[in-house]
């Protein structure tokens, strides 16, 4: 029967019928899914539920779906041109999907009948082919911000948020979900630039589903002087253990970078009278390739928090040219000048914690020290 109801709703939209009347007992809820173990699920998820027992409607509206088979999907993803879309399906499928993945909370909204109807109509309008696809933006337009904006637009009053929070930057908010010692945190710190260190406003924190859930919990609606809670009832609908992000110390970025610095130092001092071209080729090829990724994100992507990025001072595409020219002995004196510049930039970065407006991962300093060491030894060897 529910399949017929869903089909009927879409037929109504196709025919231009703007309303499918909800009963007085209908309930609109916000589902919040706890962070999962995989990176794409590590920040949680939000969806909207519309339950109307009298009309046999129990639907979930999900703004977090996308099509892997989109042409040039991965290139568009890197460029920040990923299109997400609104999907609607029976709530039981949502329960099946998350029953073994994450804890799920439901917040039933205290809305007037008119507000519920307006919200439901808006959701149906968004399911239309010309409306359901949108340009995804992790910080400002995602599966969490869209439901919030829809609720706010269809409540006939002002929503007042009373949740007290400690000021945090976007970077601090994101890394609070990825863990202090994880490679996810290391990678995020590497790819996100200066804008990520701006303090997020209360409203901007809603890009994280659990943050939005906490704000909704204490939110009040002021309808012409009549104030009432936005959330009527909150409960846990799927019980699962919360996923703590944990990286064993022996594979953490800090340990790996410490080991790298130690190995580079031992090899450099032990073979101080030799060129160690193979070691320089490995280190500077890796940083050059990384530099190409960061360069692409900074100058060609539309991601909102990647530019400017001071990591380009050390992870430079030019490192690849240095590696290509390494075998030519006649060019090593010329290459030593490049490494002098490289050493100066690394010193600026290592001292930059006091004046550069970008926060750097602690493990990054160990990597910089290893690169600085190789730059100095290359300059020393090239002078001979």
Is-contact 349 313, C-beta < 8 A?
yes
**What's the pLDDT score for residue 353?**
82
Is-contact 326 217, C-beta < 8 A?
no
3-class state of residue 62 by DSSP: strand
Residues in the chain: 384
**What's the pLDDT score for residue 284?**
97
User: What is the pLDDT confidence band of residue 74, given thresholds at 50, 70 and 90?
Assistant: low
Model confidence pLDDT, tens digit, residues 213-235: 999 999 999 999 999 999 999 99
Is-contact 150 163, C-beta < 8 A?
no
Is-contact 318 358, C-beta < 8 A?
no
Residue 12, pLDDT above cutoff 70:
no
- Measured distance CA(375)–CA(322) in Å, rounded: 12
**What's the pLDDT score for residue 6?**
57
What residues form DSSP beta bridges with 169? Answer: 199
**What's the pLDDT score for residue 17?**
43
- Measured distance CA(326)–CA(328) in Å, rounded: 6
Give the lowest-confidence range in 43-57, 64-78, 198-212, 230-244.
64-78
Q: What are phi and psi of 294, to 5 degrees?
A: -65, -40
Residue 240, pLDDT above cutoff 80:
yes
**310-335: average pLDDT:** 94
**What's the pLDDT score for residue 273?**
85
**What's the pLDDT score for residue 71?**
76
Query: What is the rounded average pLDDT for all residues in the chain?
Result: 91
**What's the pLDDT score for residue 361?**
94
Residue 109, pLDDT above cutoff 90:
yes
**What's the pLDDT score for residue 376?**
96
Residue 15, pLDDT above cutoff 50:
no
Q: What are phi and psi of 127, to 5 degrees?
A: -80, -10
What residues form DSSP beta bridges with 45? Answer: 33
Model confidence pLDDT, tens digit, residues 263-294: 999 999 999 888 899 999 999 999 999 999 99
- Measured distance CA(278)–CA(254) in Å, rounded: 24
Give the lowest-confidence range in 45-54, 236-245, 342-351.
236-245
Residue 311, pLDDT above cutoff 80:
yes
- Measured distance CA(151)–CA(146) in Å, rounded: 9
**What's the pLDDT score for residue 5?**
56
**327-343: average pLDDT:** 94
What strands lie across the sheet with 226-229, from one edge to the other? 158-160, 220-223, 226-229
**311-325: average pLDDT:** 96
- Measured distance CA(88)–CA(105) in Å, rounded: 19
**What's the pLDDT score for residue 247?**
83
Model confidence pLDDT, tens digit, residues 162-189: 998 999 999 999 999 987 778 999 999 9
């Amino acid at each position: 029967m529910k399949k017929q109801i869903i089909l009927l709703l879409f037929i109504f939209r196709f025919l231009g019928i703007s309303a499918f009347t909800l009963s007085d007992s209908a309930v609109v809820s916000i589902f919040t899914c706890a962070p999962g173990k995989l990176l794409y699920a590590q920040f949680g998820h939000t969806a909207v539920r519309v339950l109307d027992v009298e009309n046999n409607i129990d639907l979930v509206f999900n703004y977090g779906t996308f099509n892997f088979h989109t042409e040039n999907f991965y290139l568009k993803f890197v460029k920040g041109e990923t299109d997400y879309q609104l999907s609607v399906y029976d709530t039981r499928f949502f329960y099946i999907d998350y029953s073994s993945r994450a804890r799920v909370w439901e917040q039933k909204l205290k809305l007037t009948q008119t507000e519920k109807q307006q919200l439901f109509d808006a959701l149906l309008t968004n399911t239309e082919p010309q409306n359901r696809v949108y340009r995804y933006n992790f910080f400002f337009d995602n599966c969490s911000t869209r439901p919030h904006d829809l609720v706010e637009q269809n409540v006939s009053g002002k929503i007042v948020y009373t949740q007290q929070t400690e000021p945090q930057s976007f970077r601090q908010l994101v890394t609070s979900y990825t863990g202090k010692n994880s490679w996810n945190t290391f990678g995020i710190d590497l790819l996100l630039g200066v804008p990520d260190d701006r303090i997020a406003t209360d409203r901007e924190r809603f890009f994280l589903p659990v943050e939005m859930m906490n704000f909704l919990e204490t939110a009040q609606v002021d309808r012409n002087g009549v104030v009432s809670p936005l959330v009527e009832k909150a409960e846990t609908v799927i019980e699962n253990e919360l996923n703590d992000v944990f990286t064993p110390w022996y594979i953490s970025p800090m340990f790996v970078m410490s080991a790298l610095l130690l190995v580079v130092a031992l090899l450099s001092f032990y073979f101080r009278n030799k060129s160690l071209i193979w070691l320089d080729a490995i280190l500077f090829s890796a940083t050059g390739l990384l530099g190409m990724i960061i360069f692409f994100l900074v100058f060609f992507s539309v991601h909102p928090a990647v530019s400017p990025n001071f990591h380009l001072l050390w992870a430079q595409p030019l490192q690849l040219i240095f590696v290509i020219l390494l075998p030519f002995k006649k060019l090593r004196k010329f290459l030593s000048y490049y490494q002098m510049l490289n050493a100066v930039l690394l010193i600026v970065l290592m001292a930059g914690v006091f004046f550069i407006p970008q926060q750097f991962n602690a493990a990054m300093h160990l990597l910089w020290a290893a690169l600085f060491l190789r730059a100095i030894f290359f300059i020393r060897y090239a002078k001979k």
